[in-house]
A and B are shown apart, each in its own frame.
Chain A
Amino acid sequence: MPPGEEQFIPQTRLEPRSELPAPAADAPALTVRNLSVYFGANHVLKQVSLDIAAHAVTAIIGPSGCGKSTFLRALNRMHELTPEAHIDGEIRLFGDDIYSRQVEPVVVRRRVGMVFQKSNPFPTMSVAENVTVGLRLNGIRGRKVLAERTEQSLRMAALWDEVKDRLHAPAVSLSGGQQQRLCIARALAVQPEVLLMDEPASALDPLATARIEDLIVQLKKDYTIVIVTHNMQQAARASDYTAFLYLGELVEFGTTTKIFTNPSQKRTEDYVTGRFG
């Protein structure tokens, strides 16, 4: 095993979730301390600190360009895909420093999964192949295991009943809402601990959106979820905690109820009541 990986729970083994050591009940899933992100000389995120609670849904809201997606992508080191990006500060996943030099981004991303705004099932693969691609390309090939995980993940993504008879149909033959749930199933198949969602329903019609929101609330029993959204009603419906980012700074963070009924900061109040943004 590469150095440094010993400290992580190996993600390519197949222990069912219940056998993984459970973290302390109120330990936060992610602790972010003084996170700053720079794109070249551009200071995009400024000293953001907050705790993401485990088994809860945290929403990140704010006007366009405030850094919400940047923040989300820092949580699984996806910002490293941009060459000029660099980071200051610390992020710990259940106590493990995800930016430590001994940790490879690949390992982090297996523990912190991501679903994107535009659903992107791989076009050359079938539904089942898409679900298991994360497992197969990481060395897990047992047919029985893959079949079990496929069903399990599709059930968790509330898609099993709709596709169980066409697991081998091309993934792109599904509707938009189904494709997005397929991407969720694909992310869940590698059994991450945290699931990040970047505006997961913004490209969907209201019915599909409602199903995704419902799914999010269901999933938090087993996962920690962080969702970026520009739709405040969605944040109000689906999340337990909300963070308001503005111009790269964390303006306010608290329970969703408080942020939307009685925020402490005037800027939050102004944003939430639509006076700007």
Chain B
Amino acid sequence: MTAPNHRWRQFKSAVVQVLTLACAILVITPLVLVFYHLVRLGFSSLNWAFFTQLPRAEGEVGGGMANAIAGTFILLAQAALVGLPIGVLGGIYLSEYGSSHGNWWIRFAADILNGVPSIIWGIVVYALLVVPMHGFSALAGGGVLGLMMIPLVMRTTEEVLQLVPGGYREAALALGIAKWKTIVQIVVRTALKGIVTGVLLALARVAGETAPLLFTALGNQYWAHKLTEPIAAMPLQIFIYAIGPYDDQHRQAWAGALVLLLLILAVNIGVRFLTRDRFQKPS
């Protein structure tokens, strides 16, 4: 071990360290840039009116995105109603029941669906729901978001359940507890945090989908009074404003984008907080 060798190795080690640090910074940079831009351009437009008023007619200054904000929550609620039970139960089936052959096909289908471009989802649900119902509606919007959630939630639920060590299942079965009770009371309960995380993250993902909503919810300048009416949603509204000609609309689009991002950020941070390690285990 001669001295020059040692210094050469130290140098190589330092180079790699610097390179990886640079890449890490590169990864964070877009997030920082996005945030910075949104805050710079949108923060000033956040006021009470923005959150409580309906959009004004084209060309007029002022107004807000109250209906879009409410609409997003309504759509997400519907999506959860569809996506949560079907996705979670589907994930449970994949993890705990079924045959290895059949399950392979189900997983394959789910993975393909997860990769389908969102605009295609929009077109499909247009044909399935909008056409028979003779109109765009909140139901269709919620429906498409829910359908998009299903394969996502199913796969994350299955993966989280698979992480539960088999020893717990065996121990429960060895106590003479029936299989379904084992799954619900022991396995799912152990994996609950992970399942909730998966659902919340899926919701956060579909919250930002715009293309499918173009074909289903359509958007609305006013409040939707029934679920069978078209409804406004934040991504839609941002899109419409952003391609519009008026500066005031652009301003509101930036504000809307900032709010949407903050919403998604809140969900992610909330999930991190909820799944933090609370116990220090003695060794």
Binding site for B on A (CB under 8 A): 11, 76, 78, 81, 106-110, 113-114, 116, 118, 120, 122-124, 133-134, 137-138, 170, 172-173, 175, 183, 186-187, 190
Q: Is the beta-carbon distance between A109 and B279 smaller than 8 angstroms?
A: no
When chains A and B are docked, how far (Å) is the Cα of A134 from the Cα of B185? 11
Does B167 lie at the interface of the complex (its beta carbon under 8 Å from any beta carbon of A)? yes
When chains A and B are docked, how far (Å) is the Cα of A106 from the Cα of B182? 12
- Give the 9 A-B CB pairs with smallest separation, nearest first: A110-B176, A134-B175, A114-B174, A120-B167, A109-B176, A137-B177, A120-B171, A106-B176, A124-B189
Among A78, A118, A137, the residue within 8 A (CB) of B167 is A118
Q: Is the beta-carbon distance between A113 and B282 smaller than 8 angstroms?
A: no
Q: Is the beta-carbon distance between A120 and B168 smaller than 8 angstroms?
A: yes
Among A78, A110, A116, A122, the residue within 8 A (CB) of B190 is A122
Q: Is the beta-carbon distance between B177 and A134 smaller than 8 angstroms?
A: yes
Identity of the chain B residue whose Cβ is nearest the Cβ of A108 in the assembled complex: B176
8 Å CB interface, B42-63 against A: none
Chain A to chain B contacts (Cβ below 8 Å), 5 pairs: A113-B175, A133-B172, A186-B175, A187-B174, A190-B176
Knowing A116-B170, A183-B171, the reply to whether A138 touches B177 (Cβ < 8 A) is yes
8 Å CB interface, B156-198 against A: 165, 167-178, 181, 185-186, 189-190, 192
Main secondary structure on B side of the interface with A: helix
Among B168, B170, B192, B279, the residue within 8 A (CB) of A81 is B170
Report the minimum CB–CB distance from B206 to chain A (whole Å): 29
Does B281 lie at the interface of the complex (its beta carbon under 8 Å from any beta carbon of A)? yes
When chains A and B are docked, how far (Å) is the Cα of A138 from the Cα of B175? 9
Bits for B251-283, please: 1 = Cβ < 8 Å to A, else 0: 000000000000000000000000000010110
When chains A and B are docked, how far (Å) is the Cα of A170 from the Cα of B175? 20
When chains A and B are docked, how far (Å) is the Cα of A93 from the Cα of B261? 64
Among B165, B174, B190, B282, the residue within 8 A (CB) of A76 is B174
Knowing A170-B279, A172-B281, the reply to whether A120 touches B173 (Cβ < 8 A) is no
**Residues of chain B contacted by A107 (CB below 8 angstroms):** 176
When chains A and B are docked, how far (Å) is the Cα of A11 from the Cα of B175? 11
**Residues of chain A contacted by B171 (CB below 8 angstroms):** 114, 116, 120, 122, 183, 186
Knowing A118-B167, A120-B171, A124-B190, the reply to whether A106 touches B279 (Cβ < 8 A) is no
When chains A and B are docked, how far (Å) is the Cα of A170 from the Cα of B186? 15
